[in-house]
Amino acid sequence: MTIQDYSQLPRLDLARFIQFTNVAPDATRDDIIAHIETCARHGLNAAMVSMYWVPLARDILRGTDVKVATCFSLGSGTESIQGKVELLRECIILGADEVDYEPNMGLYLSGMYAEFQQEAAELVKASLGLPFKAMLEFGYLKTEAQKRHAVSLLVEAGVPWIKNSSGWGPGSVPATVEDISLLAELCAGSNSRVKASGKINSYEKAVALLNAGAELLGTSSATAILGLSPAPVAAKTEQVYSY
């Protein structure tokens, strides 16, 4: 991976790096439609939505270049390996283009490194080549040595994308230049790439994280970062979606 200089990147060109996220548990259908329509209107990299809304996102984004992204195990990661495999398969069946998952951090913290890596390897196999991201929770890892070791296990398992955090739950932490630089260093020369997530809420921070080695940014603050007006609620549009 070659790290580029994004310091002069026009604000609106950032859209192609941003996976705009709304996975709020109280988000209504109208909220989700407005969110996805914003992604379509402004050419965001992806609309990140909860699993249930994936078919709706596919409907709205049909004919655009915006991808449908989803996630599972957010903030927990404690399902069985087979349970996670089935969740991943369901994401694929629903039509997701990309899927993020949270590793079982309890395995790693227990010193069960082989089991931690096995989970990742089984999910890579079940992903069938789909872009697949591990939301590694750096908030649970107290030393750089732990971060390096955990990342190396995921890289060796063949996880295509590795994140510093889910941005959700007790293990989440804000993305920092230091952590993203470390991830980029550890993924260099492998098939793994870096996505940053957690409190990315300004143009300046987004550009700094790209300069540190992130290739994607996960954020719920895309409109603020890009200087866009909030989307109108979907109930006011004449468009009717089938899902």
Please tell me the predicted confidence (pLDDT) of residue 241.
78
Please tell me the predicted confidence (pLDDT) of residue 237.
47
Please tell me the predicted confidence (pLDDT) of residue 2.
52
Percent of the chain with pLDDT over 70: 95
pLDDT digits (tens, 9 = 90+) for 89-112: 999 999 999 999 999 999 999 999
User: Above 60 in pLDDT, residue 134?
Assistant: yes
Quote the mean pLDDT of the chain: 94
Hey, which residues are catalytic here?
A: 100, 163, 195
**What mean pLDDT do residues 12-32 have?**
97
* pLDDT band at residue 242 under the 50/70/90 scheme: confident
**What mean pLDDT do residues 136-161 have?**
98
pTM score of the predicted model: 0.94
pLDDT digits (tens, 9 = 90+) for 40-63: 999 999 999 999 999 999 999 999
Whether 67 and 39 have beta carbons less than 8 Å apart is answered as: no
DSSP H helical segments within 72-202, as ranges? 81-94, 105-109, 113-126, 144-156, 177-187
Please tell me the predicted confidence (pLDDT) of residue 4.
81
**What mean pLDDT do residues 135-160 have?**
98
* pLDDT band at residue 243 under the 50/70/90 scheme: confident
Start-to-end CA distance of the chain, whole Å, equals: 39
Distance, CA of 149 to CA of 200 (rounded, Å):
25
